[in-house]
Structure 1
Amino acid sequence: MIENQSWGMSDRELYERLRALRTADVDAAVASVVDVAGSAYRRPGAKLVAPADGDALGAIAAGCLDGPVAKLASEARRSGEMTLETFDLTGTRGLGVGCNGVIDVFVEPLDDSIDPMLRSLENGDTATTLTVVESNDSAVPVGARTVCTDSRAETDTTRSALPDDALVELRDAAEVAREDATSTLVSVSRGAGTLRVFVDGVEPAPELLLFGAEEDTGAIASFGSEVGFRVTVASPRGGRADPEQFPGADRVRAVHPTDVDSLVETDRRTYAVLLSHNLVDDRLALSTLLEATEVPYVGVMGPRKRFEALREAAAEDGRSFARAELDRVSAPVGLDLGDGTPTGIAMSVVSEALAAANGAGGGRLSERSGPIHTRQAPGGSAEPR
């Protein structure tokens, strides 16, 4: 049985722990959800890491598969063999199991074939891992792997690489997975047989840029870090840039509002929130972010009247905001949780930023038609099931 499982960790923390395990050359196994038909707790790409000694990390289900997966992980560590296992939970509702789908899980030993992907994430780049999870082609073993990073295929590991003709067939699916950080299972027919290849796209953690170093910034930074953001706190106009004041932040910098763009490292994965409580500073920072960067989301703390005052002051200085710019702005920032406490406000702000990062609307799931999660069709295109 898998016990004391740190299943609540973010993807960012999971990959950081994976990197640490590889650096220490720890004996471990990795279980990945590679396909789901119907409903399941996690979607393709979800991972659980099971070291020989120590707690399991991550989650592929809410506990219902712990026993079987623990046995498969133990066998993978012992033998070095890889297994694709199908778990049919469609008839288990009466037993109290929350899932009602068929889940394919690939279990493998942790080895150097994952290193190119981990290096790519560490360098702030996206990557796609292509892994053969089933094969009736004697020339291509189960577990053959190629990692595509920045349009390059990295195969310098102890595992076999995918053949060139298969990589050509998988090129479009791999590119979609890398651009969208999605995962899907693809079948590739070759003259000697058929391969089922897990196409697993990953991207670095999204960035949460908090402009302002007031008391409420700390709670927002902590919640942001907890859900997987890489958090930067920007202290404006010579304010306190004290890392100890913001333990949830990855970095704390003092910056003038007109230079806040210097802290934006990756435009499309940065989500900014302005909460300096100084109207002039927020106005300057907003203008800078909208003009000098392409960040897709800028939240502005405070009531709607405050934002209108900000726009009027900008107009008096000759700066009007175009419709396309305002479409990137959320003012007042946050989702409507009905809670005005500092903790509730922090949850509201981070929830909206997380929804923006995931391309979600942030509404109630009970009011959404169709499945909870967007599901990937073979080849990498999204479609509902």
Structure 2
Amino acid sequence: MNESSAILEFYRSASREGTPVALATVVRVDGSSYRRPGAKMLIARDGRINGSVSGGCLERDLIRRAVLALDQNQSSLIRYDTRADADDDEAEALVKSAGLGCEGVIEIFLDPNPALHLSAIERVIRSDVGEDFYVDVPNQAPFIDRIEPPHRLILFGAGHDAVSMWRLARELGWLTTVVDLRSSFPVPKSLFSGVDRYLVPDLVEAVEKAQVGPHSLVILMTHQFEHDRALLSALSENPPLYVGMLGPRVRSEKILNSLRGQGNGVAFPNLHSPLGLDIGGDTPAAVALSALAEIQAVLSHRSAGFLSARKVPIHSPEGGPGEKDEVSTSRLTLGGVER
């Protein structure tokens, strides 16, 4: 379950109990901060929380302020300044006493009436279409909260390695579909208990049944040459955002050459094979980590190098996503090898 879905579940549970809640949203960051603008935490009147707006250093103070906001039915903008030369008001004194030393400013909007904001999140999750929600911040221009639906991962293959893949994807908050083509020795379906969708279609209708779209993240792990070739051919008609295929490069080249020999010369720039980052390890868990780390890098337009070697800030000082890396990769296409 992704963070937004978890917050909604928490909200529904609190509503059933009759427990008031306040929503804390990061609306501005200047300098270093653990979370970026748009990060949220729902705070119940009894002190329970769901979500996060920091690495744990601000939550206790926010709970106290949320209870006050709920009692007074009054929204507020809270500014936490962790810079060494910050003026010492109450919030700054809190972070200084904790010795955080993060060297940044975080502004958090606390809303004791978050129903409209949470309804917008629910709409996005249900419709799978992102939208902008305008947050009226006191004495500032409205904060535009860009709400995006959770990423959707589709695994073609239900072997033992797919279990680690979907479990890690669940930790990332991605919605996962497992397509069991019975192409390799399948594991008991019970090991996929909790997966968002589990399908057992015929090969010819697998891509359609899985509802692959332009924003889908697809991994081919059937361990069957003919199945992967048929799936890749079907996917080439409307390529998804990402396609990764297990197996060595020579296997991928054989599949692509076979498709090209059938007259399918459509380029497939989103194909990554072998999939994953070069981190070593050959266990199912290590392969899953390598594969999903690569997908995260693709989604973030990052080169997936060592952060310790990065010459620019991880995030932009103003709190945006930061500069996109010039990602250099070698990818296979249906017309040959792209270097």
Give % identity.
30
1:10 and 1:94, CA in 2 relative to 1: closer, same or farther beyond 3 A?
Answer: same
1:383 and 1:296, CA in 2 relative to 1: closer, same or farther beyond 3 A?
Answer: closer
Question: 2:323 and 2:280 mapped to 1: Cα distance?
Answer: 34
Equivalence for 1:185: none
Structure 1 residue 314 corresponds to structure 2 residue 259: yes
Equivalence for 1:127: 131
What's the CA shift for 1:202? Answer: 0.6
Aligned ranges 1:1-16 → 2 under 5 Å: 10-16=2-8
Equivalence for 1:181: none
SS of alignment partner, residue 133 of structure 2: strand
Structure 1 residue 345 corresponds to structure 2 residue 287: yes
Residue deviations 1:293-333 (CA, integer Å, cap 9, x gap): 231110000111211221232233333342xx1x2000001
Question: 1:54 and 1:93 mapped to 2: Cα distance?
Answer: 23
1:247 and 1:376, CA in 2 relative to 1: closer, same or farther beyond 3 A?
Answer: farther
SS of alignment partner, residue 213 of structure 1: coil
Partners of 2:152 and 2:174 within 8 A in 1: yes
What's the CA shift for 1:355? Answer: 2.3
Equivalence for 1:106: 109
Partners of 2:7 and 2:42 within 8 A in 1: no
Aligned ranges 1:319-338 → 2 under 5 Å: 319-322=264-267, 325=268, 327-338=269-280
Partners of 1:237 and 1:255 within 8 A in 2: no
Equivalence for 1:37: 30
Q: Which runs of 5+ in 2 are unaligned?
A: 85-94, 325-339
Equivalence for 2:298: 356
SS of alignment partner, residue 209 of structure 1: strand
Q: Which runs of 5+ in 1 are unaligned?
A: 1-8, 136-194
What's the CA shift for 1:339? Answer: 1.2
Equivalence for 2:87: none
Question: 2:299 and 2:202 mapped to 1: Cα distance?
Answer: 26
Query: Of 260, 272, 275, which aligns to 2:218?
Result: 272
Residue deviations 1:127-182 (CA, integer Å, cap 9, x gap): 211011113xxxxxxxxxxxxxxxxxxxxxxxxxxxxxxxxxxxxxxxxxxxxxxx
Partner letter of residue 357 of structure 1? L
Question: 1:55 and 1:335 mapped to 2: Cα distance?
Answer: 38
Structure 1 residue 209 corresponds to structure 2 residue 154: yes
Question: 1:350 and 1:267 mapped to 2: Cα distance?
Answer: 19
Equivalence for 2:196: 250
Partners of 1:129 and 1:200 within 8 A in 2: yes
Looking at both structures, which has the greater relative contact order when contacts are Cα pairs under 8 Å and sequence separation is at least 6?
2
What's the CA shift for 1:98? Answer: 5.4
Partners of 2:158 and 2:182 within 8 A in 1: no
Structure 1 residue 197 corresponds to structure 2 residue 114: no
Partner letter of residue 138 of structure 2? E
Structure 1 residue 370 corresponds to structure 2 residue 312: yes
TM-score of the two chains, using structure 2 as the length reference: 0.82
What's the CA shift for 1:105? Answer: 0.8
1:123 and 1:321, CA in 2 relative to 1: closer, same or farther beyond 3 A?
Answer: closer
Q: Which has the higher strand share?
A: 1
What's the CA shift for 1:375? Answer: 6.1
Structure 1 residue 58 corresponds to structure 2 residue 51: yes
Structure 1 residue 230 corresponds to structure 2 residue 167: no
TM-score of the two chains, using structure 1 as the length reference: 0.73
Question: 2:51 and 2:27 mapped to 1: Cα distance?
Answer: 15
Q: RMSD of the TM alignment (CA)?
A: 2.7
Runs of 4+ in 1 over 6 A off after TM superposition: 380-384
Query: Of 238, 242, 267, which aligns to 1:297?
Result: 242
Deviates more, 1:339-348 or 1:355-364: 355-364
What's the CA shift for 1:264? Answer: 5.0
SS of alignment partner, residue 196 of structure 1: coil
Equivalence for 1:177: none
Equivalence for 2:328: none
What's the CA shift for 1:33? Answer: 0.7
1:10 and 1:375, CA in 2 relative to 1: closer, same or farther beyond 3 A?
Answer: farther
Question: 2:201 and 2:36 mapped to 1: Cα distance?
Answer: 40
Partners of 2:83 and 2:101 within 8 A in 1: no
Residue deviations 1:344-379 (CA, integer Å, cap 9, x gap): 1111112122222333332222233322125668xx
SS of alignment partner, residue 73 of structure 1: helix
Aligned residues between the structures: 311
Question: 1:29 and 1:200 mapped to 2: Cα distance?
Answer: 17
